[in-house]
């Protein structure tokens, strides 16, 4: 078995053994042997460990567990548990849960859905919450004290309304403008981040596996000048375009990588690879007019809506209606019962960048506020990135 196959493969023999134990101990417990309950729990955990791939298990430990601790602590300060159980536990909206503390409903929504993923709350519909047994346990001063003590003895935090890229938890903790500036001053962390992102993407569906590239981009391609361009905006060191060139050799247009100067200087591709390099800040007007595709991967989730509207507005000004497309490869969260991968990333985005992962309805609201239209949203597999296709009306 190759390295990639191993990293993406469950332990089939382990699944069979654990499943047998779960069945046996579950049946014993249901027939009145209360001592079998703990064995059932242990076997169920063994089943999950065997069924997960190594990559999924790693992401659970590095993504889910740290963000769950943070989300639970914020939920305590927001009084989510005690508010949810009030009025005999009738379903409550984000606005109702925000009222006792005067918090931002947008923040409450993001913390509440994290609590749903931890089974600390239940969801009756998009943005509508009810208590469960764990909610009731946490609604009083006893057990909720464990969350306060175990978090506050080692950390402190501040979660204002998450919409200011320059005044969020990261700035409070580090006293510097943005996380991007901090990374620039810590090149070893910057390199570790890029290595990790590239490794992770090899184990997830490529955007070209999700989006119908031939139908949408290859067919009808104009080969004259800028009309042929596929431009990767904020595309890092160029791996995405290199993969695109290998995966879609039928695309005969020009390929352009746009990035800030220090990233362009570190690019691993260039003209010898058939890729043009161009210094560009996506907060300024887009210099390539009427391109076939303006591609943004994991860019807009780094910014609050206000900055995203600026980015999309510049692209709208450059597009040729009926021909150009904006292709966004980013998480598309479910409006209800979002997967833990997306929820964990969303908490990271709040803490590091005062930004967010967006639900399908939030993507529509953002795009339409810019006078653009979503032509399609494409997904493949739970917890992966999706693809949002945008056109100019």
Give catalytic residue positions: 301
Are 39 and 110 spatial neighbours (Cβ–Cβ below 8 Å)?
no
Q: Return d(Cα 359, Cα 331) in angstroms, integer.
A: 8
Q: Are 74 and 111 in contact (CB under 8 A)?
A: yes
Task: At 255, give phi and psi (nearest 5°).
Answer: -115, 130
Q: ∠ CA(20), CA(21), CA(27), 5° rounding?
A: 95
Q: How many CB atoms lie within 10 A of CB 1?
A: 8
Distances (CA, A) of 198 to 15, 195, 260, 374: 29, 5, 19, 28
Q: Whole-angstrom Cα distance, residue 371 to residue 389?
A: 14
Rounded Cα distance, 244 and 327, in Å? 13
Which two tokens mark 51? 């069924």
3-state secondary structure (DSSP) of residue 6 = helix
Cβ atoms within 10 Å of 194's Cβ, excluding its own: 16
Tell me the C-alpha distance between 287 and 297, whole Å.
Answer: 19
Pairing of strands 386-392, 372-378: antiparallel
How many Å apart are CA 244 and CA 257, to the nearest integer?
Answer: 12
- DSSP type of residue 283: T
């Amino acid at each position: 078995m190759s390295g990639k196959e191993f990293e993406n493969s469950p332990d089939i023999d382990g699944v069979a053994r654990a499943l047998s134990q779960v069945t046996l101990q579950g049946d014993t417990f249901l027939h009145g042997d209360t001592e079998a309950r703990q064995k059932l729990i242990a076997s169920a955990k063994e089943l999950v460990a065997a069924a997960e791939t190594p990559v999924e298990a790693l992401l659970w430990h590095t993504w889910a567990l740290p963000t769950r601790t943070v989300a639970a602590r914020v939920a305590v300060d927001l009084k989510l548990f005690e508010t949810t159980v009030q009025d005999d536990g009738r379903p409550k909206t984000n606005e109702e849960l925000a009222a006792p503390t005067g918090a931002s409903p947008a923040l409450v929504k993001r913390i509440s859905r994290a609590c749903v993923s931890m089974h600390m709350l239940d969801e009756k519909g998009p943005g509508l919450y009810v208590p469960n047994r764990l909610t009731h346990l946490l609604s009083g001063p006893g057990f909720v004290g464990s969350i306060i003590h175990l978090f506050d003895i080692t950390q402190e935090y501040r979660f204002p309304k998450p919409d200011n890229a320059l005044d969020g938890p990261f700035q409070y903790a580090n006293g510097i403008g943005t996380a991007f500036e901090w990374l620039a001053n810590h090149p070893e962390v910057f390199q570790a981040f890029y290595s990790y992102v590239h490794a992770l993407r090899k184990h997830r569906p490529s955007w070209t596996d999700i989006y119908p590239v031939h139908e949408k981009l290859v067919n009808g391609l104009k080969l004259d000048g800028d009309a042929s361009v596929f431009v990767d905006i904020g595309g890092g060191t160029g791996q995405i375009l290199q993969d695109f060139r290998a995966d879609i050799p039928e695309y005969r247009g020009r390929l352009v990588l746009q990035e800030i100067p220090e990233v362009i200087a570190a690019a691993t591709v260039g003209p010898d690879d058939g890729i043009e390099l161009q210094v560009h800040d996506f907060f300024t007007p887009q210099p390539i007019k009427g391109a076939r595709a303006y591609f943004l991967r994991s860019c807009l989730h780094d910014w609050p809506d206000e900055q995203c509207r600026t980015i999309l507005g510049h692209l709208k000004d450059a597009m040729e209606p009926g021909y150009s497309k904006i292709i966004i490869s980013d998480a598309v969260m479910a409006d209800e019962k979002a997967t833990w991968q997306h929820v964990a990333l969303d908490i990271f985005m709040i803490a590091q960048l005062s930004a967010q992962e967006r639900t399908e309805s939030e993507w529509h609201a953002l795009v339409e506020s810019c006078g653009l239209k979503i032509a399609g949203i494409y997904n493949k597999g739970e917890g992966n990135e999706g693809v949002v296709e945008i056109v100019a009306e």
